[in-house]
Amino acid sequence: MSGRTHARVCPERTCVGCRERAAKSELLRIVMNKDECVPDHRGTLPGRGAYVHPALVCLDLAVRRRAFPRAFRVQGPLDTTALRADVEQAAP
């Protein structure tokens, strides 16, 4: 052994709104349930996930860029009203 200490690596994800990389714990995981984007606070819901900062700015950017349909690999717009309500409630 070389005597080096190994720092624990924190998983990083990219916000689909602002495209900045951040620690997975700082981002909100979004999953698709039928034609609706649903927040996954525990990170245990099945399916493909997309990550966004829990801020309205990043959410608006993601909706305007059509990032959620692209991340979930589906055609057409997705309903983000439940997601918006959750982010607004969590915002200080």
Q: What is the domain-level CATH number for residue 38?
A: 3.30.1230.10
Which one-letter amino acid corresponds to residue 46? P
Partners of residue 53 on adjacent β-strands: none
Whether 2 is covered by a domain: the verdict is no
Whether 4 is covered by a domain: the verdict is no
Sheet containing strand 36-40, edge to edge, reads 36-40, 28-33, 49-52
Percent of the chain at pLDDT above 90?
Answer: 82
Q: Is the dihedral of CA 25, 30, 33, 36 positive or negative?
A: positive
Q: Return d(Cα 81, Cα 63) in angstroms, integer.
A: 11
In the chain, count H helices and then E strands.
Answer: 3, 5
User: What pLDDT digit, counting tens, does each position of 43-61 carry?
Assistant: 999 999 999 999 999 999 9
Q: Domain total for the chain?
A: 1
Structural domain boundaries enclosing 75: 12-90
Nearest Cα residue to 49 out of 58, 39, 36: 39
**Six-digit token pair at 72?**
């979930």
User: What pLDDT digit, counting tens, does each position of 19-33 carry?
Assistant: 999 999 999 999 999
Whether 32 is covered by a domain: the verdict is yes
